[in-house]
Structure 1
Amino acid sequence: MQAKIFHQTSWAQTTLGTPLELYKKTHSLSGFSERPILFIGGVHGDEPEGVRLANELLAWLQKEESENSSSIRPWLLIPCLNPDGYSRNQRTNANGVDLNRNFPCRDWSPESKAPRYYPGPSPGSESEVQALVKLIEDEKPQLIVHFHSWEPCVVYTGSPGKTAAETLATGTGYETREDIGYPTPGSLGQYGWIEHQTPVICIEEQEHINLDLVWPHFQKGLQMLLKKESK
């Protein structure tokens, strides 16, 4: 029933050698007329809301792909990019690096306002970031969406992502913003847009919210984003 979904149990590895899982619509997305949407959970290990949302989205996709695959746009999904940090309930990876400040972007900076934002010794130094950069270069997603928690909002980097961000915020009452409110050099958003002109959306759920509420908040918007419009 789920043969349409391609699952790599060890698509890449963390700096400690922990396997990173990857799911996608089929083994090869090259036959589709549109580029895929890439979804990522668990960039920050102390944000379980993002991992929960990624896993709930995967469960819905598994059901939809088994019943009506043709109605779903091409997609890729990483449930947790930072499993080492997630297992320790810490923002950073096992090297103490904030993955969302480590991307090899022209604006990467060695400066950080606190240890939890440490960008690493050099841009793209971390295994997790290297793997994601290669995936982006190989698959060329049309849109990247990563799941976080802080204060409720949906942030888009790159003006072409505004419409998708508004779709994802449907029914949540959460503000849609073009800027999170402070500089994020070396972030995924900056990398995707500056280096590839790929819009990136950061979903910020309320931190410490009841995890059972996360999927209901974003279910409608995610389904609207992924379902093809009927002709």
Structure 2
Amino acid sequence: MEPTISFFSGLQISDLWYLMEAAWRTVLISALSITIGTVLGVVFGWILYEGRWAAALTLGPLLDVFRSVPLIIQLVLFYNFAPIIGLNLDPFFSGVVILGIYCASLVANVARGGMEAVSRPMRRAARSLGMSYWQDLRYIVLPIGGRAVFPSWVGVALGVMKDSALVSVLGYIELLKASQILITRTQEPLLILTIAGAFYFALSYPISRYAASIEKRWTS
């Protein structure tokens, strides 16, 4: 009698390590994208704040494109058209570029809102004390405006971290892609997705709680 050949196997300890490695890749691509997006977003927000109508007619529509077009479409288009202009990027760096720009388009409006939260009389008072424009921006506008929109920025950051799962369409093996690979092999979708969801929760919850503690400290 011939032995039975099984193409599937149950979940193993090594699979948990595989998911942990994929979770680390999710953290890595998210951290880089959020950092780049935050820096660019603050710059774009400042341009929108100071540029007024000129910025609203030029930079504003461009940022609206990245906010409006589904992220998965942006990822696929950039990854396939980047080599045409000489950018031979792997899935990781392609994901960082698009996630970073997408994050920047969201942070730009958040940053502009924070700057607008600082009243003009307060800024005039700072200038009357001898502060330069850049000193006023550094010591008055950014600290006060940053506190006002900090919760919104945290929401954007957590959203970008979850949206990083879409980079899997490019072949980058992050947490969701690794889960799909294990589901195909183990045929245990509920168990694998539950574990993946637990990993996402373990990544997101400490950030949200730490952000809440910072807010509480600021308001106390």
Bin for the TM-score computed over the shorter chain: under 0.3
- TM-score norm. by structure 2 comes to 0.27
Would you tell me which structure has more helix in proportion to its own residues? 2
Q: Which has the higher contact order (CA 8 A, sep 6+)?
A: 2
Task: Find the structure with the greater CA-based Rg.
Answer: 2
- TM-score norm. by structure 1 comes to 0.26
